[in-house]
Every structure is written in structure tokens, then in C-alpha cells.
Amino acid sequence: MTLNDPRTIYPTVNPQKQKQDEPGLDQELAPQSDIGVSSYVGHDRLKGRKALVTGGDSGIGAAVAIAFAREGADVAIAYLPEEQVDADRVIKAIEEAGQQAFAFPGDFTDADYCRKLVEESVGALGGLDILVNNASRQVWSEDLEAISDEEFDKTVKVNLYGNFRVTKAALAHLKPGSSIIFTSSIQAYNPSPTLLDYAMTKAGLNNLSKGLATSLIERGIRVNSVAPGPIWTPLQPSHGQPQEKIEGFGTHAPIGRAGHPVELAGAYVYLASDESSYVAGETLGVTGGTPTP
Ligand code: NAD
Ligand code: MG
């Protein structure tokens, strides 16, 4: 069997400075990142399962949605209405995998949408077995004083309130064997001075997933988190980083490069499937070699 060097297995991401409006589009990333369309191979590990992936239009969420479909799951994705072009590509990939795809655009700052998203997903899928809490916003600021109250509020509303509301609504439908996966970050442990509000929400989600795991395992529901390192997605050039950090993005990781979204897919598939039946309250770091506590 061929050995693949992890430093070079995927095309090197070496972006020039570039800016997109928030929330950013995968289609406008230069270079394009690998979300698994032509690389992820499934092995029936989620056959017959029903999954909801928030932020499933692009980046890590898109890679997870496509991988889940190739593992045999029907998948509903949530995203902002202005991301429809990215969502269309993911919906097509799910359908080409022979699975059902459902799309529910909306804004996580809207409490009613969070609850309706779950109800409509359950209705369309005919139940819910896997919830991937992946949607988040990340907008950089020079320092704490540069974060307006409105910006702080919006980041907390999307990242903490949004995840909380969707998870709470989903609990009414999750049966023993179900899995909830939060998307934390290396920022939960090593916060960047330019991402104080965002990093705080990622630490909060990591903590929530651990507390919730202890509570829900008694109901046969497993809760875990994935903590990505620097991954090349539209989150970064759409005000997620200052321009000087876009150039050479990810090269500070011990592996020497940024990750591609598809390199996260296996972690989510593992945590969603029965292969991780004894794993709850865990945070799986996918960081390119930066140690996590
Ligand atoms: P992404 O931009 O592709 O995905 C984030 C998604 O969040 C968007 O596609 C959007 O649909 C959703 N979103 C943002 N604001 C929203 C709102 N107001 N309402 C509803 N949905 C909204 O970027 P990504 O990097 O794939 O991010 C996915 C997750 O991975 C996020 O939770 C992010 O914090 C986390 N993460 C990313 C990195 C990285 O380096 N890219 C590192 C660590 C953690
Ligand atoms: Mg997107």
C-alpha cells in the first residue's frame, strides 16, 4: 500500500491576501479547498442515519455533510440565505451519493429559526440521529476595545445561543444511539489576541459539550467536540483574520501547512458512528500537530 506523507498529501494552500464579505463563499476562495467532492470515500458507517449539519454549505460543514452522505446518511444542511450557491454544490453531492438532501437557510441570531430548523429537519428526514453544531462567525478585532458591543453580541448570539437553541430543540427527538458533535477550535485553548470574543465562544462550546456529555450519556446519547486547527475555509478571508495572516495562512502549524476541510471529515464520521460507542465528553483535536490539553 502506498504511504502518503501528511505534509504533502493535499495540494498546498498558499493564499495571497484576499477579502470577502461576511459570511464568505467557498466558490470564491483562492486557491479552492478540498471539501471531499472528489476525494472522500465512504464505507457505509452511517447507513440509514439522519443528520443535521449546521453551516453545511461550505468549509468543514460541507466536508462533513458530503462525507456523511457517502457513509449512507440522509443529510439536512443549515446556512445563511446568501450562501445558496455553496449550498447547491453540497446538496448535489449528497444526492449524487444516493442520499436525501434537505436545505434550510436562515440566521442563527433568530431564535425562532433555530427551533424551526430542528422541527423542519426532523419532519423532512423522518427523525434525527446526528446533530453537528458547526455554524459560527469569526470576525477579528485589533484588541478588546475594538470589539463593539454589537459585534460581541452577534458573535455570542450565533456561536453560543445558536448552538444552545438548536441542541435544546433537537433533544426532544434524539434516541439512544444518537450523537451530538460540537465544533470547537484550537482557539479554545490558545486564544489569539485578535479573536478574543470568538475564542471565548469556542471555549464555551467545548465546555458545554463536556458537561452535556455527562448528562446525556445516561440517555444513551453521546456528545463530543472536534477542535480544528487552521483550516482553509471562507471563514478566514471574510474578516476572520487580518490580511497579513491570510498570506501564509496555516504555515505556523507544526505540520507546516493549513488543513483542508476534508481532513476533518473522518473525525466527525468517527464521533457520529458506532465506532466511537465508548467515547463521550471527548474533544478530538485536528490541529496539524499543535498539542491540545
Ligand atoms: P465556513 O465559513 O465555511 O463555515 C461557517 C458557517 O457558519 C458558514 O458557512 C455559515 O453557514 C454559518 N454561519 C455563520 N454565521 C451564521 C449565522 N448568523 N446564521 C447561521 N449560520 C451562520 O467556515 P469553517 O471554517 O468551515 O467553519 C466551520 C466551523 O469550524 C466553525 O464553527 C468554526 O468556528 C470552526 N473552526 C474553523 C477553523 C478554521 O481554521 N477554518 C478552525 C477552528 C474551528
Ligand atoms: Mg458558508
Summarised one tens digit per residue, pLDDT across range 186-204 is: 999 999 999 999 999 999 9
DSSP 169-201: HHHTTPPTT-EEEEE--GGGTS--GGGHHHHHH
pTM of the complete model: 0.99
pLDDT in tens, 228-245: 999 999 999 999 999 999
Residues 31-43, mean pLDDT to the nearest whole number: 97
- 59 phi, psi to nearest 5 deg: 55, -135
Is there a domain that residue 76 lies in?
A: yes
Mean pLDDT over each residue of the chain, to the nearest integer: 98
pLDDT classification of 207: cutoffs 50, 70, 90: very high
Query: What is the per-residue pLDDT for 64?
Result: 99
Strands 222-228, 50-54: pairing kind:
unpaired
- 158 within ligand 1 shell (Cβ under 6 A): yes
Is there a domain that residue 118 lies in?
A: yes
* Cell reading at 239: 474578516
Nearest ligand to the CA atom of 78: 1
> How many whole angstroms from 256 Cα to the centroid of ligand 1?
23
**Distance between CA atoms of residues 131 and 118, nearest Å:** 10
pLDDT in tens, 240-279: 999 999 999 999 999 999 999 999 999 999 999 999 999 9
pLDDT in tens, 276-290: 999 999 999 999 999
Is there a domain that residue 280 lies in?
A: yes
198 is a catalytic site residue: yes
- 288 within ligand 1 shell (Cβ under 6 A): no
> How many whole angstroms from 121 Cα to the centroid of ligand 2?
19
Residues 18-34, mean pLDDT to the nearest whole number: 97
Kindly give, in sequence order, each residue whose CB lies less than 8 Å from that of residue 266, ignoring residues fewer than 6 positions away: 67
**Percentage of the chain surpassing pLDDT 70?**
100
- 240 within ligand 1 shell (Cβ under 6 A): no
Is there a domain that residue 214 lies in?
A: yes
Number of domains in the chain: 1
Is there a domain that residue 15 lies in?
A: no
Is there a domain that residue 61 lies in?
A: yes
- 35 within ligand 1 shell (Cβ under 6 A): no
CB-neighbour burial class of residue 137 (10 A; exposed 0-12, middle 13-18, buried 19+): buried
Residues 134-153, mean pLDDT to the nearest whole number: 98
Domain CATH for 58? 3.40.50.720
Is the pLDDT reported for residue 1 higher than 80? no
Domain holding 95, by residue range, is 26-286
> How many whole angstroms from 61 Cα to the centroid of ligand 2?
8
Is the pLDDT reported for residue 72 higher than 80? yes
DSSP 20-86: --TT--GGG-SS----STTT----STTTT-EEEEETTTSHHHHHHHHHHHHTT-EEEEEE-GGGHHH
Is there a domain that residue 6 lies in?
A: no
Is there a domain that residue 13 lies in?
A: no
